[in-house]
Chain A
Amino acid sequence: MSTLHLVALAPFIMAIFIPFFYFKFRHIHTGWFILPLPLILFIYLIQYLPLGGGPMETVERSVPWVPSLDIHFTVFLDGLSLLFALLITGIGTLVVLYSIYYIANKKEEPLNNFYVYLMMFMGAMLGVVLSDNLIVIYVFWELTSLASSLLIAYWFHKEKSRYGAQKSMLITVTGGFAMLAGFSLLYMMTGTFSIREIITYGDAIVTSPLFLPAMILILLGAFTKSAQFPFHIWLPDAMEAPTPVSAYLHSATMVKAGIYLVARFTPVFGGAPEWFWIITGFGLFTLLWGSVSAVRQKDLKGILAFSTVSQLGLIMSLLGLGSAAVHFDVVDGQSLYTVAVLAAVLHLINHATFKGSLFMVVGIIDHETGTRDIRKLGGLMTIMPVTFTISLIGIASMAGLPPFNGFLSKEMFFTGTLNSTTLDIFNVQTLGVIFPAVAWIASIFTFVYCMIMLFKTFTGKHHPERLEKEAHEAPAGMLISPVILASLVIIFGFFPNLLAYTIIDPAMQSILPGLLEPGEQFYVNIYHWHGLNTELFMTMGVVFFGSMIFLNLRKWQETTFYLKERDPLNWFYDSGLVGLIKGSTVVNDVQMTGRLRDYFTYMFTFLVLGMGYMLWNTGALAVDMANTADISIYMYIITLSLVLATVVIPFVSSRISAIVLMGVIGFLVALLFVVFRAPDLALTQLLVETVMVVLFLLVFYHLPELKKETFKPAFRLTNLVISIGVGLVVTLTALSAHALSYENPISPISDYFVENAYALAGGNNIVNVILVDFRGLDTLLEVLVLGIVGLAVVVLIKFKAKKGEDV
């Protein structure tokens, strides 16, 4: 157990003590007790940054958990883990601070729940990014899903919260399971759960037939978590969560877990065309879909949700493009494709900063005006100047305008997609034009929704009568966190190279290991002015066309495209869920009729099919009459009478006749025993049959007059078919067993009994000696069965429940 293990576990330990803080110190907001923890973790993690220059030292600490299954809680800290851990703890600190003022009503809100879930989430998230063992990652991964659902349903009395929580749970857990299956396949291929060891098996994995299934399953996990198309539908509904949760989980951390996973597995799968195409394709489509959907949202958080979807698609597509670098030589730490990875890492940081601040700003607007609907808001610029400033910075960065950090990553994004047109592998050369085109169109829509968000909220006429509260500026405490994030947006915008060799380069080295000689570093130089190149003209085009669309907003405002807010894909989810429930009800109703005869039909059908298939498939069907004994004439007579009595039974209409016929069968069987020289059996059979007939008559005497049941011909036909089938299969099995017993002769054990019955047990009646001596235990237990049945009959008859009495 090292300090790094404690980093991941500290939030869980904290979660245990939160109810104590909450109930013992009611007058202090519980959030204040939480606040130091993420801050301490953040400061602790900073010391791992290579601040003095040079490559980052990786750290590995291992604690066995289930060593017999190769499951160790191994903490591995490299550039990528550190980047994510810093995001989680850093934004976590700000979010906790923000939540203290956001959920200010400490009397009525169950704060202990909130912070327990939040700490649980933070610990789980740190566990995901710090772990090296796949199973441990999976455990923490599911914990994030769980904590996320709990947080979404924090106001569980609201219908929509529960709906959103259930939706996100179902979708992310489905992906999680798929991911677990993918991990298992990886284990089958490599024999280890450690990611770093798996990376060393690179070639073996790529050539394995399990490569594609494993990759797709793991990507399912990543795509569901990161809200990629078509799994993004849970994210907009997760906006029912308190805003700090949305800011933390649904912009900065949890949705990036999928990004982390993809980045983590780039060294394993990267370089394969399937990986490149799936990630880039889905990423770009998500980018486009998210940005177009965001334009038509009326709820500020809805816009931000789809904006998050779109930006995650952007990062994902960049990771896909960057994976091509694994395929190519990298010269001097610089290649066309590493730029894409650089852009992905940079945008990851940028997105966390500006999206976090924007969510907080929206929370402030909601808090101070009582609504998030852009149709009710307006003219808040002069009323909430600080909020406006922060929003302006965040939105400008999101739209990709200079001099903010969004501009840098957007330029690099364009560079990355433009580079892809020069790719000559993966059959890209013809389709490559699509990449920058889609990216460019998506950027235009991004610009449009940014404009809508800014101008609809802050400019225009103020309508106090539409708002639930009187609008005013937020308290200072609430503004601290967004101000810090907005300052970061500006700082990273003006001094992007602060990050270059401290965090971006180590992260890139984790995503693309093995491309550089030891000691080398990727060439990271981020600057605003690239000269008059294509990217700049593309950005100008984005601004121009985006403004045009926004200025003509009124023209297409009335179209159904704009009016319909909900994502059409929700239809699939909702009707799928309803259909699933309806479908299972229908199946259940069809199958579970509650009638015994139906269940017997199932059982016998499967008996016939199963045994018939086995006989046919294993070649066990063998009918051989060569070794049968001679049949004497009286055997024919007995058997014929037996068959006659049996065949007549179904056609008999009175019960008494049926009983008598059963008795006839019983006595004929006794006769068969006699013929086959089994006197004990014959005696027993005779007596048992007699007693049975007496009992039957007694019982039937007591039976009420029942209505005679008439069955449909179809039902009778089914019965006939099934009974013939059962008879046939059993007969064939018996015949086959007989025939095969001559092929595989087994000496019967009865020889031993015959020889030793008198010598060992002192009896000449072998049957009886076997019953009481050799196999006495069976007899003992059979007698026990008799006794239990007798007592059961007594209980059934003498201790009947009276009317209205429940058991």
Chain B
Amino acid sequence: MKNTPVQLHVITRIVAFIILAFSVFLFFAGHNNPGGGFIGGLMTAAALVLLYLSFDLKTIKRVIPFNYSKIIGAGLLIAILTGIVGMLFGFPFLTQFDEYYHIPLLGETHAASALPFDLGIYLVVVGFTLLVILTVAEDDS
């Protein structure tokens, strides 16, 4: 543990969560401001890549035990299901709905079916980026 980069570790711990928070903000801001699933996903991936860079692979794998290929699948499934739900009610595939609800804690909330769709995109982008980077990085041969 002689060469442990303490400053890096400390700063990473702080910065990573700021980036993660920013990525969540970007994700939710997408409908009205710059942002959205794609950028949010990339930002999340960037935060995770930072973690992987400063700590070693095994540690992070233990902390974040995600199977990224499954995340890709889940993202695709969510995006497609969003489109299919509309079909059940007689609308064309991928018809999006939006409505205003009054939710006790959050107040007047704008809920749009574009959100789960964006969530699917978000998951695929996160899964893709990390899957590719980790697979290439882990390749020993």
Contact = CB atoms under 8 A, between A and B. Distances in A.
B127 A790 contact: yes
A698 interface: yes
A786 B128 contact: yes
Interface stretch (A212-220, A458-466, A528-536, A772-780): A772-780
Contacts of A779: 117, 121
A688 B37 CA distance: 14
Interface string B18-36: 0000000010001111111
B141 to A, nearest CB: 7
A641 interface: no
B124 A783 contact: yes
Dominant secondary structure of chain A at its interface with chain B? helix
Interface string A679-721: 1100110011011001100110010000000000000000000
B129 to A, nearest CB: 6
Contact of B35 (A694, A765, A776): A765
Contact of B136 (A690, A699, A773, A777): A699
Contacts of A139: none
A691 B135 CA distance: 14
A764 interface: yes
B82 to A, nearest CB: 9
B31 A783 contact: no
Contacts of B118: 768, 772
A702 B94 contact: no
Dominant secondary structure of chain B at its interface with chain A? helix
B108 interface: no
A791 B132 CA distance: 8
Given A776-B83, A783-B125, A768 B135 contact: no
A770 B114 CA distance: 11
A793 B39 CA distance: 22
Given A783-B121, A790-B127, A680 B135 contact: no
B131 to A, nearest CB: 5
Contacts of B36: 680, 765, 767-768, 771-772
A797 B132 CA distance: 10
Interface string B71-88: 011011001100100000
B38 to A, nearest CB: 6
Nearest to A786: B128
B34 A691 contact: no
Interface residues of B, number: 49
B39 A680 contact: yes
A655 B138 CA distance: 22
Contacts of B135: 793-794, 797-798
Given A687-B39, A783-B120, A763 B73 contact: no
Contacts of A769: 31, 114
Contacts of A786: 72, 124-125, 128
B59 interface: no
A771 B112 CA distance: 14
Given A762-B98, A790-B132, A780 B83 contact: yes
A684 B42 CA distance: 8
A282 B49 CA distance: 84
Given A694-B49, A783-B75, A797-B136, A789 B128 contact: yes
Nearest to B30: A768
30 contacts: A683-B34, A683-B35, A684-B38, A684-B42, A687-B42, A687-B43, A687-B46, A691-B42, A694-B133, A702-B139, A764-B33, A765-B31, A765-B32, A769-B31, A772-B117, A776-B94, A776-B96, A779-B117, A779-B121, A780-B80, A780-B117, A783-B75, A783-B76, A783-B121, A786-B128, A787-B73, A787-B75, A787-B76, A790-B69, A793-B131
- Which 4 A-B pairs give the minimum distances between C-beta atoms? A762-B98, A687-B42, A679-B34, A763-B31
Given A765-B33, A786-B124, 5 more contacts: A761-B112, A776-B117, A787-B124, A793-B131, A794-B135
